[in-house]
Structure 1
Amino acid sequence: MTHNTPLSPRPLHDLAHGRRRLMTAAQLRAHGVSAAEANERCRPGGPWRRLLPNVVLLHPGPPTGDERLHAVLLYAARERTAGAVPGVTAAVPLQPGGEHPPAPAYAEAMITGLAALTLHGVSAAPPLPSLEVIDVLVPRLRRLRSTGCARIVRTAALPTPQEVTGVPVAPVARALADAVAEPTDAEAVRRLLTEAVRGGHCEPAAVVRELNRARLLSRPHVVDAVDSLVAEGRALAEQRLYRMVREHGLPEPVWNVDLRLPGGPHLGGVDAFWPDQGVALELDTRAHRQQEDDAVWAEHVRKREHLERLGITVVHLTPRKLRDSPEHQATVVRTALMAAADREPAAYVVVLPR
Structure 2
Amino acid sequence: MNHDTPLSPRPLSHLAEAHRRVLTTAQLRAHGVSAAETTEQCRAGGPWQQFLPGVYLLHPGPPTGEERLRAVLLYATRGPAPRPASGVPAQPTARQPHRPAHPDVMITGLAALTLHGFSAAPALLALEKIDVLVPRLRRLRSTGCARVVRTAEPPVPEVVTGVPVAPVPRALADAVAQSRDAVAVQRLLTEAVRGGHCEPAAVVRALTAARLLTRPYVVDAVDSLLAEGRSIAEDRLYRMVEEHGLPDPVWNVDLRLPGGPHLGGLDAYWPDQAVALELDTRAPLQGRPDEDSLWSEYARKREHLERLGITVVHITPRKLREAMEQQATVVRTALMAAADRDPAAYVVVLPR
Superposition TM-score, scaled by structure 1 size: 0.92
Q: Which amino acid aligns with 1:125?
A: A
Flag the 1:74–1:276 CA change in 2: closer, same or farther, 3 A.
same
- Structure 1: give runs of 5+ residues left out of the alignment: 94-99
Which residue number in structure 2 is paired with residue 53 of structure 1?
53
Distance in 2 (CA, whole Å) between partners of 1:190 and 1:84 is 46
Shift in Å, 1:220: 2.2
Shift in Å, 1:84: 4.6
Flag the 1:218–1:308 CA change in 2: closer, same or farther, 3 A.
same
Flag the 1:87–1:219 CA change in 2: closer, same or farther, 3 A.
farther
Equivalent position to 1:191, from 187, 192, 217: 187
Paired residues, number: 341
Say if 2:329 is the partner of 1:334. Answer: no
Which residue number in structure 1 is paired with residue 345 of structure 2?
347
Query: Does the CA contact (< 8 Å) of 2:179 and 2:185 recur in 1?
Result: no
Q: Which amino acid aligns with 2:174?
A: D
Query: Does the CA contact (< 8 Å) of 1:79 and 1:86 recur in 2?
Result: no
Query: Does the CA contact (< 8 Å) of 2:169 and 2:202 recur in 1?
Result: yes
Which residue number in structure 2 is paired with residue 97 of structure 1?
none
Query: Does the CA contact (< 8 Å) of 2:73 and 2:106 recur in 1?
Result: yes
Please give the residue correspondences for 1:181-260 in structure 2 after superposition, counting only pairs within 5 Å: 181-260=177-256
SS at match of 1:33: coil
Please give the residue correspondences for 1:21-60 in structure 2 after superposition, counting only pairs within 5 Å: 21-60=21-60
Q: Decide which moves more: 144-153 or 281-290.
A: 281-290
Distance in 1 (CA, whole Å) between partners of 2:133 and 2:76 is 8
Distance in 2 (CA, whole Å) between partners of 1:10 and 1:21 is 15
Say if 2:8 is the partner of 1:11. Answer: no
Query: Does the CA contact (< 8 Å) of 1:7 and 1:31 recur in 2?
Result: no
CA-based RMSD of the aligned residues comes to 1.9
Equivalent position to 1:307, from 305, 308, 318: 305
Query: Does the CA contact (< 8 Å) of 1:281 and 1:316 recur in 2?
Result: yes
Equivalent position to 1:294, from 271, 292, 295: 292
Distance in 2 (CA, whole Å) between partners of 1:19 and 1:174 is 28
Superposition TM-score, scaled by structure 2 size: 0.92
Q: Which amino acid aligns with 1:250?
A: L
Shift in Å, 1:289: 4.8
Please give the residue correspondences for 1:92-107 in structure 2 after superposition, counting only pairs within 5 Å: 92=93, 100=95, 104-107=99-102
Query: Does the CA contact (< 8 Å) of 1:80 and 1:86 recur in 2?
Result: no
Q: Decide which moves more: 130-139 or 106-115.
A: 106-115
Distance in 2 (CA, whole Å) between partners of 1:86 and 1:52 is 22
Distance in 1 (CA, whole Å) between partners of 2:259 and 2:350 is 13
Which residue number in structure 2 is paired with residue 171 of structure 1?
167
Which residue number in structure 2 is paired with residue 67 of structure 1?
67
Say if 2:252 is the partner of 1:267. Answer: no
Query: Does the CA contact (< 8 Å) of 1:256 and 1:269 recur in 2?
Result: yes
Q: Which amino acid aligns with 1:308?
A: E
Shift in Å, 1:6: 5.5
Q: Which amino acid aligns with 2:99?
A: P
Query: Does the CA contact (< 8 Å) of 1:73 and 1:136 recur in 2?
Result: yes
> Structure 1 residue runs of 4+, over 6 Å off?
none
Flag the 1:17–1:340 CA change in 2: closer, same or farther, 3 A.
closer
What percent of counterpart residues are identical? 74
Which residue number in structure 1 is paired with residue 148 of structure 2?
152
1:10-42 CA distance string (max 9 Å, x none) = 222331344341100001111111112111211
